[in-house]
Each structure stands twice: as C-alpha cells, then as structure tokens.
Structure 1
Amino acid sequence: MADQPEEMPAAPAIRLGPPHPYLKTHGGKVARLHRLDWAVLLLIAAADVGLNLVEPFHRFVGEDMLADLRYPLKSNTVPVWAVPVYAVIGPIVVFVGLYLKRRNVYDMHHAILGLLFSVLITGVLTDAIKDGVGRPRPNFFWRCFPDGVPKYDNITRGVLCDGVASVIKEGHKSFPSGHSSWSFAGLGFLSWYLAGKVKAFDRRGHVAKLCVVLLPLLLAAMVAVSRVDDYWHHWQDVFAGGILGLVVASFCYLQFFPPPSGEQGFWPHAYSEHILNPEREGQAQSTASSNHHRRLSSRGHVAVEMSTATASQEASSLGPMEEMEEGRGAR
C-alpha cells in the first residue's frame, strides 16, 4: 500500500491589528503609565480638603448692606451629598457601561481620570476663590443674627454676629457657587464624552444627538437655578461657577480625547497610539509607518496594509447607529 502523503499542518491564523485592550490584559499597563497622574489627583483632593478647613475672608458687612442679605435661611433643594452622586458617580456608571459593551480599557480609564481631574481642579479653584473673596450669602442676616435682632459696631456700623461660628463661616462663601461649578465640571465632561460617542457634530444634521449632549448640561443648569431659588447664592455666583466648571471640563476632556467633531473623536488619544504602536504578543507584530498603515508579520514576511481610504468606503455603508457600534473614528 503506497504511503499517503503527510498532511501539511494548517497555517496559523494571521491576526489583523493590535490586541484588543481589555481590562485584564491592558489595565495594569495603563494604570502604571498614569500612576503619576493618580498621585497628582490625590494631592489635588488633599488640597481641596485643606481649603475647606481654612477660615474664609470675612468681608465687611455694614448696616446699610443688609437689605440684600435678609433672604430666608432655607434648606438645600439639592443636598451637598447628592452633588458627587450625579456629577461623579453617574458619569462613571456611563463610562463603565460603555466598557462592558466595547471592552476598551483606554476609554474607561481616561474617561474616569479626566472626570476626576475636572471636578477636583474645579473644586480647588472654587474653594480658593470662596476663601479669598468672602462674599456674604443672600441669607447672611439670619446666619449672623439667628434671633432676628441685629447688633452693630457703634463706630463702623459693621455687624456683630452672635450666631453659630460654622454657620457664619459658610455665610461668607457665596462666590462662586460650588454646586454650580461641580455640576458643570462633572456633567459638562459627560456632555463632551457623549458628543464624541454619538458623533454629534458629524454634519449630518441629526438634532436628536444634540438632545443627548445637552441633557447633562440641562441638569447642571437646573441645579444652578435651585441655588438662587434657595437663597444660598446670588445669580452672579451661579453664573461664574457654571462657566468655571464648564471651562475646566473642556480642558480636561480635550487633554484625553480628540474633539468630537474630528474623525478620531470616538476613542481617546491613547487608544490611537495603541493602534499605531501595537504591543508584541506571541508572534512578532510590527508597527505602522508614518502613513498610518499597519504591517504584521507571522513566520514569513506577510504584510497586510489597511488604508484609510478603504476604511472610509466601508464605513460609508453603515447607518449612524452602526457607526457607533463599529467605533468610527478609531484607527
């Protein structure tokens, strides 16, 4: 019986592109690369705690100035503990939810890091300005004189407060509004993030995408309005706080993510670097050249080139929802 020719072993499959960045495979690397950022974040948090312990500047309040400071001392419509819930935990839930769907640890890590930088930098700026300005709140009279009987210095006619020291201390922290700045810092960052994920500025005229982007900002604006309604802040306080939070959120987002209007606006900058410089796992995988093409090798010198023109043609056949599912804008 003639010998049958031996079957040649099947060639191993060639994996196109870099390894996908899961939490288990890339989480440790991403965290190590940004350990200094996390250390700086802790220092900023400690600085914010220290600023809250500092006694603010007690701006002079005279007898003739109390007319605009006699508003009722009401409780907060939005309590202080609720601010980090909707401005920090809420957006993080969104980031984690997208990770569970798309499994991109770069996106989740950078979104969380950028959000925390946004709210903590805003917190430090807000509290520093509060301590330096010392503007009285609209309800300062009732903080200063709980019994409603005012007392003044015989010479300067400045107020002589007899209320609780901690309540009076808070009464000198009107400008800017912390609720407003934190709300716009956290929810403003979320708004930027959603704009990138739904490709809100792709020039296709889908107004529904703008509704998704503006919803977090609307919530932040309603919180700011509540601070005026509760007589805890003047309108200038919430306006300045909102601008401050939104500006910081914008800088922090653009530090980690491309502009939402760009072709690469879906994933963070670090993911694009991961695509252009894939890690070596198992067999050799070479990186792309400056024209952004990817070349891979396995056993032989097998080269695979994926041009940006082909990617654009394939993506043009996808609908808007499919584009988001395919992660348009990521190389």
Structure 2
Amino acid sequence: MPDILGGGAHTVRSHGVAVAKIHKHDWLILLLLVVIEIGLNIIEPFHHFVGEEMMTDLKYPLKGNTIPFWAVPIIAILLPFVIFLIYYFIKKDVYDLHHAILGLLFSVLITGVITDAIKDAVGRPRPDFFWRCFPDGKPAFYPTIAGNSTANVSGDVMCSGINSVIKEGYKSFPSGHTSWSFAGLGFLAWYLSGKVRAFDRRGHVAKLCIIFLPLLVAALVGVSRVDDYWHHWQDVFAGGLLGTTIASFCYLQFFPPPYDIDGWGPHAYFQMLAESGNGNQSSATNVNHANVHQSELQSIYIQPQHG
C-alpha cells in the first residue's frame, strides 16, 4: 500500500473540523434520516389479509431472537467503526476516517429507511404470526359475507394477542436484521478490499478471505432470522440484496473502486492534494505506476522473436 500521507499527517485535530464543515449538509441529512427511521417504526404497518387457509405456513413457534435487536447496530456500525479507527491510528488520515464513517452511516440509515418503508407498506405476516395473533392457540376469524370486501367482515383474522406483538408480526418483508447487517458489513467489505488492494492482479487469495469474512457474518445473521422463524427465506434474500446494493452505492460515492490505482483512499484526499498543489505529483506517481504495470505485462506476454 502506498504511503498516502507522505511527510505530513492529516489528523482529527488538525483537519477534522474543516473536513466536517465541508460535509455539514450531509450530516444534517443523516439526522433527517434518523427522524424518518423513528417515524417509520412508530406508525402502524399495513395489515395484510390473513385468511384461515393461509395459516398453514404461519404456525411456526414464537421464539426469541438469536441475535437481539440491540446487537445489530454493534455488528453493522460499531464493528466497522472500530476498524476505521484502527486504520486511522496507523495512517493518521482524517479524510479516510471521516468519509468511511459518513459512508457507513449513510449506508445503514438509507437501508433502514427503505427497509422499514417497505415493511410498513407490504405488511407481510411473519412465519410465527399465528401465535402472535392467537397466543391461546384458539383462532378466530371475521365471518365472510359475499359481495362485501370490508376488512372486518371478509374472513380476516380476529387477533386476541398483545397489540405491539401483533404489530411486529406484520413486518416480515424484508428482513431488517439482514439488510442492516449487509449494509454495514458490506460497506466494510468494500473498504477492506481497497485497503488490502485485493484486486491488484497478484492473485493473493488471502485478501479475498479478508473481504468475505464480513459478508459471512452478515449471511449468518440472515440465516438466524429464518432459524428463529421471524422471517421467510424470501425476506432474508431481499434484505441481503437491498443492503449490499445500497452499501455499494454509498462506498463508491466516497471512495474509488478497489481495483482503481487510487482505490486505497477517498476521493476527498486526492481532491485535497490537487487543490493544495500536490496533485501533479500524485498524477505523476499514477503515470509511473501505469508505466511499470505496462512494462510488466509486456515482459510476460511479448515473447522474443528470432529470425
């Protein structure tokens, strides 16, 4: 990995306030996303119709969470944050630290807002919905009246359980645990791939193992949701896809692709170099790297010809 700082460090103390001020509007948007996320968890979700014949797939046991709700922010936010801090203490690069944290928070919060908005709009019952709705095990349904589509007379469930438990029972699709985990750990996987130069064409499989480890943890979180009967497999699949997609967009908003020659640092760092007059030196370095790489390829693929 190149020495990104040269002779001078850019620390939180020396450049932190200036970097944060440039992105003050982004931090305000983050606060707005937090407010929206809280609101989406307060409102009542759509109550999807659940008829008597639909209960066959909704009678799984009502269990606790293998991975509790409070553990998800630790896995998706705190764990990547610790790794960002470790890298910062090694390289003293506030640009990398700031944009990694900002990108991570955007990834998780945007994912959370989209996930909960879809949950509230779809209102899909969880696999354990029967026991949430009828904790005494005695099902009851509104009588069906021909020609009348009103919810309370159409054969829908007449739940007798606790309102908060029933409300949570209509939030199966997509899986929030899974989408948050893939948003945070997916962003971390992108981050690590840039730092270890995973795609430098040298073929070190160990680098791929480093990248896949966060994704494995996120996948295990998703599997636990099916094992606990809180989600159908489709919910977990959609949550994983959603979190990974948003993490990718957020990472590439702040960092170059990992296979890029400058994939080890944030866009803002190179912009700072250009604005401070050191951009030419950086560009010259990039050209040298490109020339060396081209020479290596020629030495490998161009065979000497003898007349």
- TM (norm. structure 2) is 0.88
- 1:239 and 2:237 equivalent? yes
Q: Structure 2 stretches of 5 or more lacking a match?
A: 145-153, 295-307
- 1:61 and 2:50 equivalent? yes
Q: Which residue pairs with 1:6 in the alignment? A: none
User: Secondary structure of 2:17's partner?
Assistant: helix
Rate the CA distance shift 1:235–1:306 in 2: closer, same or farther, 3 A: closer
User: Secondary structure of 1:153's partner?
Assistant: coil
Give CA deviations for 1:156-187 in whole Å, capped at 9, x if unaligned.
32210000000000000000000000000000
Q: Which residue pairs with 2:268 in the alignment? A: 270
Distance 1:308 1:240 in 2: 40
Picking from 2, 6, 12, the partner of 1:23 is 12
Rate the CA distance shift 1:185–1:314 in 2: closer, same or farther, 3 A: same
Q: Is the 8 A contact 1:18 1:275 kept in 2?
A: no
Deviation at 1:73, TM superposition (A): 0.1
Q: Is the 8 A contact 2:261 2:286 kept in 1?
A: no
- 1:110 and 2:99 equivalent? yes
User: Secondary structure of 1:293's partner?
Assistant: helix
Rate the CA distance shift 1:31–1:311 in 2: closer, same or farther, 3 A: same
Q: Which residue pairs with 1:254 in the alignment? A: 252
Distance 1:138 1:200 in 2: 40
Deviation at 1:310, TM superposition (A): 4.7
Picking from 168, 175, 179, the partner of 1:181 is 179
Give CA deviations for 1:286-327 in whole Å, capped at 9, x if unaligned.
x25xxx5249xxxxxxxxx955445678999xxxxxxxxxxx
- 1:293 and 2:291 equivalent? no
Aligned residues: 281
Distance 2:101 2:293 in 1: 29
* Superposed counterparts of 1:4-23, under 5 Å: 19-23=8-12
User: Secondary structure of 1:127's partner?
Assistant: helix
Q: Is the 8 A contact 1:136 1:173 kept in 2?
A: yes
Rate the CA distance shift 1:106–1:315 in 2: closer, same or farther, 3 A: farther
Q: Is the 8 A contact 1:135 1:173 kept in 2?
A: yes
Larger of the two Rg values belongs to structure: 1
Deviation at 1:203, TM superposition (A): 1.0
- TM (norm. structure 1) is 0.81
In structure 2, give the amino acid aligned to 1:77: T
Picking from 214, 217, 222, the partner of 2:215 is 217
Rate the CA distance shift 1:38–1:227 in 2: closer, same or farther, 3 A: same
Q: Structure 1 stretches of 5 or more lacking a match?
A: 1-15, 279-286, 296-304, 317-331
In structure 2, give the amino acid aligned to 1:250: S
Distance 1:104 1:315 in 2: 27
Q: Which residue pairs with 2:198 in the alignment? A: 200
User: Secondary structure of 1:56's partner?
Assistant: coil
Q: Which residue pairs with 2:73 in the alignment? A: 84
The share of aligned pairs that are identical, in percent, is: 61
Deviation at 1:86, TM superposition (A): 1.1
Rate the CA distance shift 1:52–1:227 in 2: closer, same or farther, 3 A: same
Distance 1:307 1:201 in 2: 19
- 1:38 and 2:27 equivalent? yes
Rate the CA distance shift 1:154–1:307 in 2: closer, same or farther, 3 A: closer
Q: Which residue pairs with 2:151 in the alignment? A: none
Deviation at 1:21, TM superposition (A): 1.5
Picking from 226, 234, 237, the partner of 1:228 is 226
User: Secondary structure of 2:68's partner?
Assistant: coil
* Superposed counterparts of 1:119-130, under 5 Å: 119-130=108-119
Q: Which residue pairs with 1:95 in the alignment? A: 84
User: Secondary structure of 1:239's partner?
Assistant: helix
Distance 2:225 2:214 in 1: 17
Q: Is the 8 A contact 1:123 1:182 kept in 2?
A: yes
Distance 2:164 2:173 in 1: 17
Q: Which residue pairs with 1:166 in the alignment? A: 164
Q: Which residue pairs with 2:139 in the alignment? A: 150
Which protein is richer in helix relative to its size?
2
Give CA deviations for 1:101-129 in whole Å, capped at 9, x if unaligned.
00000000000000000000000000000
Distance 1:308 1:118 in 2: 30
Q: Which residue pairs with 1:327 in the alignment? A: none
